[in-house]
Structure 1
Amino acid sequence: MNEPLVFERVYDATPAEIWNALTDPEQMRQWYFDIPGFRAEPGFEFSFIGGDETTKFTHLCRVTEAVPNQKLAYTWRYAGYPGDSLVSFELFDLGGGQTKLRLTHSGLETITPHHEGFKRENFREGWTYFSEKALPQFLAK
């Protein structure tokens, strides 16, 4: 299946508040991953460790697009494994202090065959957790 995973949700937060949650290293650490020194600048490369209780993977990423309060995109791959995917966060100002976030992870078909931990369903579960639980709880603080 070559279809990207797409998640959309409306948050009671401004685009600037969500942008800061997506790009400020201190805020990111509280709901997403610990990425010290993160910069929302095209070409910026970063890595972080993620996975489940038994298996951890080094994620290697490079920012491809950064439009403040509108869109952040970066490549997503794993050290030691082939494949390269793309994660994007698009923000849509709905007015009244509400913002729609569209999170898209494309190119999964280049990654999923290479390790049991890279199943499409694992990505779906992870992004659902971040978009439906972790980010809303962080924004509600």
Structure 2
Amino acid sequence: MKDVIVQQEFLVSGHSLWDAITNHEKMIQWFFINIPDFIPENGFCTEFLIENEGRRFTHVWKIEEVVPNKKIVYNWTYKEYTGEGKVFFEIEETDEGSRLVLTNKWVGEFPQDIPEFSRESCLGGWQYFINGNLKEFLDKN
């Protein structure tokens, strides 16, 4: 499946953007409210349950790469389903602030009979979180 790439510019420094995407207290305000903990370091692992239309999705995130204020990479799987993804959050400084480039790559294919695993659903979800929630969160703070 083709990678999903979502970009957004922010009127905040790269350091402030990094803090918003790696600080647990801030993440639960714009990302998933039920993330139990988050530490931006290699090997950190967390999991949490999201339910949608009667389907369970226990997210399992393992941090694979951290370059402070620049990049963090998650290995992303689900307990209930086969498949594996990698999500890259990459920060670039701009004249006006910073830019986040999010890339979702498929490493192992997820079941295609589940709507949440379609490319369109993935793109829509990342646009919702990055172009919507995160932008709104940083604009307010």
* 2:62 counterpart of 1:57: no
Give the Cα separation in 2 of the matches to 1:69 and 1:30.
20
Give the match for residue 127 of structure 2: 128
Give the match for residue 116 of structure 1: 115
Aligned partners of 1:59 and 1:78 also within 8 Å: yes
Paired residue type of 1:110: E
Q: CA deviation at 1:82?
A: 1.0
Give the Cα separation in 1 of the matches to 2:11 and 2:51.
29
**After superposition, what is the alpha-carbon deviation per residue over 1:23-52, rounded to whole angstroms, capped at 9, x for unaligned?**
111000000013233100111111122353
Q: CA deviation at 1:100?
A: 1.0
* 2:24 counterpart of 1:25: yes
Aligned partners of 1:10 and 1:99 also within 8 Å: yes
Q: SS in structure 1 opposite 2:46?
A: strand
Aligned partners of 1:71 and 1:89 also within 8 Å: yes
Name the structure where strand makes up a greater proportion of residues: 2
Q: 1:128 and 1:17, CA in 2 relative to 1: closer, same or farther beyond 3 A?
A: same
Q: Show the 5 A alignment for 1:5-44.
A: 5-33=4-32, 34-44=34-44
- With the length of structure 2 as denominator, give the TM-score of the two structures: 0.90
Give the Cα separation in 1 of the matches to 2:51 and 2:15.
29
Give the Cα separation in 1 of the matches to 2:115 and 2:37.
31
Query: Percent same amino acid at aligned positions?
Result: 33
Q: 1:51 and 1:127, CA in 2 relative to 1: closer, same or farther beyond 3 A?
A: farther
Give the match for residue 2 of structure 2: 3
Regions of 4+ moved over 6 Å: none
Give the match for residue 67 of structure 2: 67
Give the Cα separation in 1 of the matches to 2:26 and 2:132.
15
Aligned partners of 2:57 and 2:80 also within 8 Å: no
Q: Show the 5 A alignment for 1:87-98.
A: 87-96=87-96, 98=97
Paired residues, what number? 139
Give the Cα separation in 1 of the matches to 2:8 and 2:20.
15
Give the Cα separation in 1 of the matches to 2:113 and 2:46.
22
Give the Cα separation in 1 of the matches to 2:139 and 2:25.
16
Give the match for residue 83 of structure 1: 83
Q: CA deviation at 1:121?
A: 1.2
Gap regions ≥5 residues in structure 2: none
Paired residue type of 2:117: F
Gap regions ≥5 residues in structure 1: none
- With the length of structure 1 as denominator, give the TM-score of the two structures: 0.90
